[in-house]
Amino acid sequence: MNIGKVYLIGAGPGDADLISVRGSAILGQADVVIHDYLVDTGMLKYVRDSAEIISVKEYDKSNRVGHLEKQRRIDKMMVRRAKEGKLVVRLKSGDPFMFGRAVEEMRVLLDNNIEYAVVPGISAANAASCFTGIPLTSRGIASSLAIVTGHKMSKQNKLEIDWKSIAGLDTIVLYMAVETLPCIQKELLNNGKMPDTPVAVISKASKVDQRLVKGKLSDIVELVRREKIQAPAIFIIGRVVNLESTFNWYRKSEKILFTGLSEPRFAYKGNIFHCPLIKIKPLRDYSKMHSLFKRLDEFNWIFFSSRYGVQYFFRELLSSGLDCRALNSLKIAAIGTSTAKKLKEYGMLPDLIPKVESAKGLLNAFRKYAKGVRLRVLLPRSDIGEKGLTSGLKKLGVNVTVCPVYHNVMQEDYPGLAPVLFDKIIFTSPSTVRSYFKKYKLVPKGTKIETIGTVTKKELTKFI
């Protein structure tokens, strides 16, 4: 049997959208994904439905076994899947080579003759710096930097660090230092660091509930205790901390909760946090769709109202032994640019794209084609597709055949986010509205709302 390959991929610091393009692409090809408990499960949207997803949460957080035993279990699981010939992704929080135990895992893979590759990720230190406006280096302020772990490594449970050398550097970044902070504070002060040296503590860097606390080296222990800062947290020590008050763009930015699936289209709107409230799943039975393929010549038009309708329609068309040539006698309508872009992936250019991307816009654009003729339209859509497009076509005298090609279901395993943390919520479809109010009940006072399309706006009026 061919042995598989393992990719050690840095998942980044917290926000699911900060994974690299290469990392997300490899996730989409993985047979098995083994991820740390700190990894935002939102990035699992890149993973195929057929892939096996394994969380090592029970190993990371269990107190029944030590760190070495936890790591052995993870290593064993990783090796076993690779020896089964599978493409395995070991998804690690932050960057694999920044206190990520990548060396231990690579050594195990080498010992078992398993091929591996490493994909870097944005480290927690980098994110804490960028998302607070605190540069780790800055001309005229800081030209030297140390990144230090506060985790106890020696048999005597001490920090084996050259504090005299560290204390003389301009910027010090501490990982895993909440528990050992009193010891670190003492060592830095004893080795010449000034008591009034600025310190920033950042927890949940890059997330909507990111916290930032600032103080001085002399009072940072008491400040962390009083503010109840919990691990994991990043400490930045040095004069660069003073730049936060000027350059903290993140504190001033609008935090937007995006509830749909196609968040890249809306990235320009601001600081987007993607929390999809719906999930797309294939049907169990496509027999109706396949029977329609045998009589495509009965239709004049195919209307695609979403990119998922395109995806599943062509998936089944190809699986039935046909391709786009089977549609040569039909005209194609796409509800908007993202749907048209998906059609282009299958070599299809739509005959009709409305200027206004909505069911109403599509109906208005189609009206001239329906005058004085009796047309037949095939409408592949979700199993809970809105009736507005169907009824509108019928009012134009069109014979409509609706064919569900995918399920649109409520997302149940997304990370919980408190709506009160956001300045704006974007709803992209009626189903996202229904899912939101089923989970959260109401929109916090003062939170702005944006809806995509008149049908979505109409659905929202049922709840507010």
Q: Quick: pLDDT tens for 142-155.
A: 999 999 998 765 44
pLDDT band at 89 (very low <50, low <70, confident <90, very high): very high
Eight-state DSSP code of residue 227 = T
Q: Is 331 helix (H, G, I), strand (E, B) or coil?
A: strand
The mean pLDDT of the chain is 90
Tens-place pLDDT, residues 180-216: 999 999 999 999 999 999 999 999 999 989 999 999 9
Supply 383's token pair.
């199993």
Tokens of 141: 């302020």
pLDDT band of residue 263 (cuts 50, 70, 90) is low
Buried/exposed code over 98-134 (b: 16+ C-beta within 10 A; e: otherwise): bbbbbeebbebbeeeebebebbbbbbbbbbbbbbbbb
Q: Mean pLDDT over residues 211-222, rounded?
A: 96
Provide the pairing of β-strand 278-282 with 399-410. Answer: antiparallel
pLDDT higher than 50, residue 125? yes
Question: Which DSSP symbol is given to 256?
Answer: E
pLDDT for res 87: 97
Per-residue pLDDT, averaged over 452-463, amounts to 88
Give the pLDDT score at 351. 97
What's the N-to-C CA distance of the chain in angstroms? 59
Burial label for 442, CB within 10 Å (0-12, 13-18, 19+), is exposed
Q: How confident is the model at residue 269 (pLDDT cuts 50, 70, 90)?
A: confident
Q: What is the pLDDT of residues 229-249, one digit of tens each?
A: 998 999 999 999 999 999 999
Range from 60-64, 283-287, 379-383, 401-405 carrying the lowest mean pLDDT: 60-64
* Cβ atoms within 10 Å of 253's Cβ, excluding its own: 12
pLDDT value for 156:
54
| Count of helix runs (H) and strand runs (E) in the chain | 17, 19
- Average pLDDT of the residues in 445-449: 94
What is the pLDDT at residue 285? 93
Tally of CB atoms within 10 A around 331: 17
Residue 232, preceding bond cis, omega within 30 degrees? yes
> What pLDDT is recorded for position 461?
94
**Segment 287-294 mean pLDDT:** 93
Cβ-contact 254, 424 below 8 angstroms: yes
Judged by average pLDDT, the poorest of 119-128, 135-144, 263-272, 289-298 is 263-272
Task: Provide DSSP, 152-213.
Answer: --STTS-----HHHHHTSSEEEEES-TTTHHHHHHHHHHTT--TT-EEEEEESTTSTT-EEE
pLDDT in tens, 345-377: 999 999 999 998 888 899 999 999 998 889 999
Identity of the amino acid at 264:
P
Q: Give, to the nearest 10 degrees, the angle between helix 67-83 and helix 102-111.
A: 40
* Predicted local confidence at residue 158, as pLDDT: 63
